[in-house]
Structure 1
Amino acid sequence: MTAVAAADEALVNRADQLQKLRQQMAAISGKVGGDRSAAGHFPEALPDAQSLLPGSDALARSIGHVLRRGTVAVAGGARSLPLEVVASVTAAGGYAAIVGMPEVSVLAAVERGADLSRLALIPRPGLSAVEVASVLMDGMDLVVLGLGGRRVTSTSARAIVARAHSNGCTLLAVGGDWEGASVRLQAQITGYDGVSACGLGRIRGVRTAVRVRGRGGREVCGSRGAIRSA
Structure 2
Amino acid sequence: MKALTALAPQLQPARTGPLLPVLPALEGLLPDRGLRPGAVVSVTGGSTALLLAFAAAASSSGVWCAALGFEGLGLLGAAELGVDLSRLVVVEAPGRQWPEVTSALVDGVGVLLLRPSGPVSGQVAERLATVARRSGCALVVAGAWPGARVRLVVQARTWAGLGQGRGRLRARRLVVAAGGRGAAARERRVELWLPDVHGAVRAAEPLAHGADGHRPDVAAAARQPAAVAARPPLAVV
TM-score, structure 2 normalization = 0.72
Q: Distance in 1 between matches of 2:84 and 2:148?
A: 27
Letter in 1 for 2:39: T
Query: How far off its partner does 1:127 sit?
Result: 5.7
What are the residue-to-residue correspondences of 1:132-211 with 2, within 5 Å? 132-153=101-122, 155-174=123-142, 176-196=143-163, 198-211=164-177
Equivalent residues in 2 for 1:5-84, closer than 5 Å: 18-29=1-12, 32-33=13-14, 36=15, 50-61=17-28, 65=33, 67-77=35-45, 78-84=47-53
d(CA) in 1 for partners of 2:146, 2:28: 27
Report the CA distance between 1:106 and its aligned residue: 1.3
Match of 1:119 among 54, 75, 88: 88
Structure 2 CA distance for partners of 1:184 and 1:61, relative to 1, 3 Å: closer
The structural deviation recorded for 1:107 is: 1.7
Sequence identity, in percent?
A: 31
Confirm or deny: 8 A CA contact 1:99 1:146 kept in the other structure. Answer: yes
User: In 2 relative to 1, CA 127–83 (structure 1 residues): closer, same or farther, beyond 3 Å?
Assistant: same
Q: Kindly report structure 1 stretches of 4+ aligned residues shifted beyond 6 Å.
A: none
Q: How many residues align?
A: 193
Q: Does the residue aligned with 1:124 lie in a helix, a strand or coil?
A: coil
For the residue of structure 2 that corresponds to 1:220, the secondary structure is: coil
Cα pair 1:56 1:92 within 8 Å, conserved: no
Other structure's SS at 1:102 match: coil
> Structure 1 residues 66 and 182, CA, compared in 2 at 3 Å: closer, same or farther?
farther
CA–CA separation in structure 2 for the residues paired with 1:27 and 1:166: 18
Amino acid at match of 1:228: L
**Structure 2 portions without partners, runs of 5+:** 200-237
**Quick one: which amino acid aligns to residue 144 of structure 2?**
D
- RMSD of the alignment, in Å? 2.4
Higher strand share: 1
Please identify which structure carries the higher helix content.
1
Deviation string for 1:44-81 (max 9, x for gaps)? Answer: xxxxxx32222222221465626321111211112221
CA shift in 2, pair 1:199/1:130, >3 Å: same
How far did residue 160 of structure 1 move?
1.6
Q: Which whole-Å deviations, capped at 9, do the CAs of 1:18-43 have from their partners, x for residues lacking one?
A: 332111001222xx23xx17xxxxxx
Using structure 1 for the length normalisation, give the TM-score.
Answer: 0.74
